Amino acid sequence: MCKKTPAVIYFYKKISTTKKSELYEQLKDSPLSAIEFTFMCDVVEGLDLMELSEKYHKTYSRMSQWKRECCEKIHAFDLANITR
């Protein structure tokens, strides 16, 4: 399990409170690269870190770090859009 930073907590709360179709639209608008977008879609679908590490051929700890980094990008993007 990746470290529960405020950004990770925010993203998981967003998953539980937002319809998937809306969530995917919001992910499309976020500043994620194509591979990060695909990765986060897999996270939304509920794949755990072991499944993700097998799919993306990376270590468990790297998957955890990558998830945290993506969550931080999404969180920062959402915060920037709220203040506009």
pLDDT per position as a tens digit, 7-42: 999 999 999 999 999 999 999 999 999 999 999 999
pTM of the complete model: 0.87
* Residue 59 reports pLDDT greater than 80: yes
Q: What integer pLDDT is reported at residue 81 of this predicted model? A: 85
pLDDT grade, residue 2 (50/70/90)? low
The residue ranking higher by pLDDT, 1 or 74, is: 74
Using H for helix, E for strand and C for coil, what is the string for 14-64?
HHHHCCHHHHHHHHHHCCCCHHHHHHHHHHHHCCCHHHHHHHHCCCHHHHH
